[in-house]
Amino acid sequence: MPSSGENVVKDKPDFHTGPEQDSNLHRSPADSLSDASIHEAHPGGLSHLADLVRSLSSRDAAARYREEAADDGIPDRNGRREGKEGSQFADREIISWEEGDKENPHNWTHVKRNRVLLTTMVLIINSTLGSSLPSMAIPYMAKEWGVTAQEQMPLPIATFLMGFVLGPMMWGPLSEQYGRRIVVVSTFSVFTIWTLACALAPNWPAFLVFRFLCGAFASAPIAAVAGVIADVYADPVARGRAMAYFMATTVFGPLFAPIISLTECPQGFCSTSIGWRWTFWIGLIYAGLTFIPVILLPETYAPVLLARKAAALRKRDPESNVYAAAELEDRDLKQLVTVVLTRPMRMILTELIVSSVCMYLALVYAIFYMSFQAFPRIFQDLYGLSPGVTGLCFLPIGGGCVLGLPIFFAYDHVLQRAQKTGKKWAKQEEYRRVPLACLGGPLFVVSLLWLGWSARPASGVPFVVPMLAGIPFGLGWMLIFMALINYLTDAYELFAASANAAASASRSLVAVVLPLATGPLFGRLGVAGACSLLAGLSALMCGIPFVFIWKGERIRAGSRFCAELRRRKGVVEGWKEGARESERGGNKGIMGM
């Protein structure tokens, strides 16, 4: 049987103190969580398909939060759990976290949580480095394999990003179903294999296939890490800071990759004898070094940890009947395909926050990848710089991204001070992160105009002037991403991996398509015209964060996932308050207060 160190719910008493009423005050906590807020379509209203999708999202959210309630030790009315096909498991003991349980990731030491964060930062560099790794080496690959069509030149990056489109739609939900570690470790292992395949590619078609597979498996951390951070950081402030460090790391992979890919360039920084294949050998060496901390990454997903604990207790005592709540949930193929794997797409279609964030981040992300083709046109074609120096022109973008961190922390300090003094604005959820995007958006627009209209060598403007446009570019890019990715994570918590998978897939899709138009765009409009067009599109998207601040609370109220999360938090707090009152000897029922 379980030792005194485990918290087990068995035959919990009925906490009802009076007859059945509609009010949640007279209902058990888990019962309150189990009711999905399903709104039937009115005649002439939403289509049957849209109504079905919304209903499925409501049930999905309610079921997951009900499971989370059991993990936290909150009983249902009869201390029982619904299992497959509606059968009751009245004889099952449901294990849950104790208050202050050291095995709960929320209670891990600062050292252990920071080690997890550092591992995710090291891991994500592989994904982002791989995305643009061959950027400056493409002409030399094409020359070796006789590829002459200009339309094929963006394909080594585009095929990788195509993998980024499809991968997160699987890895994010799967990490919420089977745990973070198995998804991260297995996908990283396969990514390493396909990186090796790129280094040994015999021809252009095979190379493009290997790049696609690299992207598909490299995309797992993009989707899963938001869930990992939500797993180990319960406090929104600490979680936001962890996400800020993670997001700052993501930008350096793409920026360092063009420098690495100059290894074969006669005008670069390394000997021509090294060859373009060393671009991927260097990436493979870094992946090998990364594998050491990745293999030591602990599982962070609470349902999986509780399931392991319950299995260990049953193994120790075969007569025990201890189970985790997750073990009594449906885990069949039908549920996996219809509910789990469709979750990111359903969130894009039915969650206004997710779809708006996806649109904005997709454009900003695509413009970032367009710069890998735009910079050679500006600094090599206009200014006549060598490929090596052109690669260094990306570094101001990294500097701008680094500047985003102190701004993030400074705003965090201002917000906490306002919350302590009871400022009304500081209590609104949107003010926790979104104002950073309100600052970053205009900076991003200004940077594009700066780059486009200052690149005038014929007028005597030195290359350093457009190069310095990278500082507000990186700063704006980082503030937008830190604000909106954190906003998604805070808004969806348990479903953070799926929400971020939706955002990752959508922005990667646009980043595949839009860079293909870089050549024709800059060729027809020129540098100033092309940058002005991109700045105009970015200016239109700038309004999204302001709308969130204006109507964010109303938008979240209409969200199936956010509504269930808000209700869960209210029920949990009510249950905890009732438990504390009971311990103080109060005569009121736990939920009948």
Q: Which residue type, as a one-letter code, is found at position 29?
A: P
Q: Domain residues of the chain, as ranges?
A: 7-101+304-336, 105-300+342-557
- CA 165 to CA 318: how far, in whole Å? 45
HSE-CB at 528 with a 13 A cutoff on CA atoms is 5
Q: Read off the pLDDT of residues 175-198 as tens digits, 9 standing for 90 and up.
A: 878 889 999 999 999 999 999 999
Q: Read off the pLDDT of residues 491-545 as tens digits, 9 standing for 90 and up.
A: 777 677 677 778 877 887 887 788 778 888 998 999 999 999 999 999 999 999 9
- CA 39 to CA 58: how far, in whole Å? 9
CB 346 within 8 A of CB 56: yes
Q: What DSSP character marks residue 46? A: S
Q: Read off the pLDDT of residues 324-382 as tens digits, 9 standing for 90 and up.
A: 777 776 666 666 666 667 777 878 887 888 889 989 999 998 898 888 788 888 998 89
SS3 523: helix
Q: Read off the pLDDT of residues 549-581 as tens digits, 9 standing for 90 and up.
A: 988 888 887 776 776 666 665 555 555 566 556
**Could you write out the DSSP letters of every residue in 351-391?**
-HHHHHHHHHHHHHHHHHHHHHHHHIIIIIIIT---HHHHH
Question: Once rounded to an integer, what is the mean pLDDT over residues 49-78?
Answer: 53
Residue 83 has pLDDT above 50, yes or no: no
Question: Once rounded to an integer, what is the mean pLDDT over residues 307-334?
Answer: 78
* Helix axes of 343-350 and 48-71: crossing angle, nearest 10 degrees: 120
* Spatial CB neighbours of 176, under 8 Å, sequence gap ≥ 6: 64, 227, 301, 340, 343, 494, 495, 497, 498
CB 122 within 8 A of CB 250: no
Residue with tokens 């052109």: 390
Q: Which pLDDT score, from 0 to 100, does residue 406 have?
A: 92
SS3 7: strand
Is the domain spanning 105-300+342-557 CATH 1.20.1250.20? The answer is yes
CB 374 within 8 A of CB 516: no
- CA 204 to CA 202: how far, in whole Å? 7
Question: Once rounded to an integer, what is the mean pLDDT over residues 127-143?
Answer: 80
Q: How confident is the model at residue 73 (pLDDT cuts 50, 70, 90)?
A: low
Q: Which pLDDT score, from 0 to 100, does residue 508 have?
A: 77
Residue 48 has pLDDT above 60, yes or no: no
Q: Which residue type, as a one-letter code, is found at position 252?
A: F
- CA 499 to CA 488: how far, in whole Å? 7
**Could you write out the DSSP letters of every residue in 462-494?**
-THHHHTTHHHHHHHHHHHHHHHHHHHHHHHGG
* Strands ordered across the beta sheet of 93-96: 7-9, 93-96, 322-324
